[in-house]
Amino acid sequence: MQQTVTFERAMVRIEEIVRVMERGDRPMDEAMALFEEGTRLIRACSEQLDGAEQQIVKLMKGVNGEVGETPFRVE
């Protein structure tokens, strides 16, 4: 059974994996396992971002059903 990881926790783990991989001191089999883990986490983050984007588009639809672009304002 695969456990769902939050976006934030996945990003922290990806950063850890990148730091370890950049050192280049791990045996090949361990490096490959880390690479595979990182790839899975990146895929999961991408899916979460896609879902969030779809939700935002739904929320932004106007009364006629069309999505309009609105500038983002920082206050």
**CB under 8 Å to 41, separation ≥6 — which residues?**
5, 10, 13, 14, 17
Assess if residue 67 is contained within a domain: no
pLDDT value of residue 24: 95
pTM of the complete model beyond 0.75: no
The domain total for the chain is 1
| 2-11, 21-30, 41-50, 61-70, range with the lowest pLDDT | 61-70
What range defines the domain where residue 46 resides? 7-60
Assess if residue 36 is contained within a domain: yes
Band of pLDDT at residue 1, cut at 50, 70 and 90: very low
Instruction: Determine the average pLDDT of the residues in 26-36.
Output: 97
pLDDT of 40 over the 70 cut:
yes
Assess if residue 40 is contained within a domain: yes
Assess if residue 44 is contained within a domain: yes
| 8-12, 54-58, 61-65, range with the lowest pLDDT | 61-65
